[in-house]
Structure 1
């Protein structure tokens, strides 16, 4: 599992909860001023996933006004870009030169070096926050905050890739090892770089490495969307992306696995989730294996044992035993 910490305002006295939440935002992003209609008993929760220098933090909180002032910036500036995927609720953010209203599935973007004010709606807000050091972004020289998008709808393009990645990441961290954290942080950094560059209409100025990384991310997303397709293979993937099979293999030379191995690992992870899903305790293991591209039970069992150190049956039985002990 990834390095993960959970914070709740319920863990401190009611009178201290808003100040506690301001401390959480300070430690997660940067120092801010904060006020709320619920100041006497403020409710909020936050999970923080450490991904190397990058952090992701799903959070739910009540109505807030948050300000990042020039004085606070002079006192402390961690030089971060902040992005929030709005999962529920609404809000608005204003800067000296701009104002944006955020709704469901929007990506909200901020800069720790620029003054801003955020005002959320009356209903609780749920977001998936992302903090990326500016120094990690491979942006063309001369790009500045003035051309960074302040709001990015996530229904298509690179913003959709980023939103989907964030959503899937925070939904289930059990299939990752702590050592996966920095690699996942690199993926998110590349997506943010590509998102910014696309919005600036300067993709041609991007460094070749970022072009390559963006193409790999598109390919990996395509694989995840077609994992159950029995015809999914390097030839089909290359054809769908208008590249040669040899170039596809070349792209994956610097990845953690070959194309075929990456497909197999993702299929094993999907089967792993199904084996531990209480709603899927009745389908035979062979049925789950076939659903995820392993028509031969023996091949699935061998690949699963290599990846997880136990047989699929033992893995399922261990999950059942853990659930029973939890409910006892």
Structure 2
């Protein structure tokens, strides 16, 4: 499991929750000032709320830090005084998953919503305020030196709203959400490598935003391309014509280079496609949703790229030890038996 530190206001007395979170963020390597947002006429902006909810995790990935957080309405301020106090020269990206917000630099302002990335820098003063509802984000703290772009290009992205719904933004957003959802599959030794992947994707996202050529190493290009290829495969699993040839052609690379990308992870292209298809079929076969339970087994196989029922059954049995129809019967029987016990 990766190293994490966790802060939760629910672990603290009600009256001191906001002050505790403000003190925590005021003592970081890039300190910020916090102010509550009044939500009613009874609230005073110069007084902390009687209760406040915030849950923040810090996930260390070498020099890169990921921090998923959920918190009540707030104003973050990075002032010139705080910059003079400490400036680690980091970029900060926030992927907004729930809620809304706006950021201000002098006379410039940008609003952002769900699945948007907002970009700022610890060397610049700013003010960020959220809406009137709780906010959920996944933040990235990354040293400027790890973004492999000339400074004049990287700085153009500061203050931008970048989409997490398309292109490289989608790859980065999916990577962050998967990592934030569960860090248990990873060992501490994986942390620096995961941080390198984040740095590569941030560089690619910035380069796309300013139409610049990233100065990535061949290894970094390969890692980013492989993530892109895997995302393409997951989007097209239902296509029975999804083959190494069509995958390579869609990414303008040779089949031999495509195979080398997967070999670097100890995989083959065919095995990865088959594994993803079977995982999705397994999920549908065990899903309690009435529509999926009424869908014939062979139709679920066809949905995930197995147009021939016999081929689907063989592949599924090899992977999971039972035919798909038998798995479904077993799951259904267990649910019926469980319901009977509850009824008693």
Q: Sort the TM-score into its range (normalised by shorter chain).
A: 0.7 to 0.9
- Hey, what's the Cα distance between the residues in 2 that align with 1:80 and 1:312? 50
CA deviations over 1:24-74 (Å, ceiling 9, x no partner): 546887321111036221122335555454443332222211112333334
In structure 2, the residue corresponding to 1:99 is in which secondary structure? strand
1:29/1:131 contact within 8 Å kept: no
Judging changes above 3 Å, is the alpha-carbon distance between structure 1 residues 75 and 270 closer, same or farther for their aligned structure 2 residues? farther
Contact 1:44 1:62 in 2 (8 A): yes
Matched, 1:22 2:22: yes
In structure 2, what is the equivalent of residue 152 of structure 1? 161
Q: Any stretches of 5+ residues in structure 2 without a counterpart? A: 39-47
Residues 142 and 58 of structure 1, relative CA distance in 2, 3 Å threshold: closer
Query: How far apart are the structure 1 equivalents of 2:82 and 2:139?
Result: 21
**TM-score when normalising by structure 2:** 0.74
TM-score normalised per structure 1? 0.77
**Residue 296 (str. 1) matches residue 307 (str. 2):** no
Q: How does 1:1-328 map to 2 (within 5 A)?
A: 7-23=7-23, 25=25, 30-37=30-37, 39-40=48-49, 41-96=51-106, 98-137=108-147, 139-143=148-152, 146-154=155-163, 155-170=165-180, 172-173=181-182, 177-179=185-187, 183-203=193-213, 205-271=215-281, 273-274=283-284, 277-279=287-289, 282=293, 291-293=303-305, 295-304=311-320
Q: 1:289–1:173: structure 2 CA closer, same or farther, 3 Å change rule?
A: farther
Report how far residue 19 of structure 1 moved.
2.5
Q: Is the 8 A contact 1:79 1:111 kept in 2?
A: yes
C-alpha RMSD over aligned residues: 4.1
Instruction: Provide the C-alpha distance between the structure 2 equivalents of 1:276 and 1:6, rounded to a whole number of angstroms.
Output: 34
State whether residues 65 and 118 of structure 1, in contact with CA within 8 Å, keep that contact through their aligned partners in structure 2: yes
The answer to whether the 8 A contact 1:89-1:121 is kept is yes
Cα 1:9–1:250 shift into 2, 3 Å = same
- Using the TM superposition, give the Cα deviation of residue 168 of structure 1 relative to its aligned residue in structure 2, in angstroms: 4.8
SS, match of residue 296 in structure 1: helix
Partner Cα distance (1:69, 1:195) in 2: 27
Aligned-residue offset at 1:193: 0.8
Please state how far the C-alpha of 1:134 moved relative to its aligned partner: 3.3
Q: Which moved more, 1:64-73 or 1:142-151?
A: 142-151
The 1:183–1:209 alpha-carbon spacing in structure 2 relative to 1, beyond 3 Å, is: closer
Q: Name the structure 2 match of 1:308.
A: none
SS of alignment partner, residue 266 of structure 1: helix
CA contact (8 A) 1:6 1:46 kept: yes
Change over 3 Å in CA distance of 1:115–1:182 after alignment to 2: same
The 8 Å contact of residues 97 and 137 in structure 2, kept in 1 or not, is answered as yes
Cα pair distance change 1:301/1:81, threshold 3 Å: farther
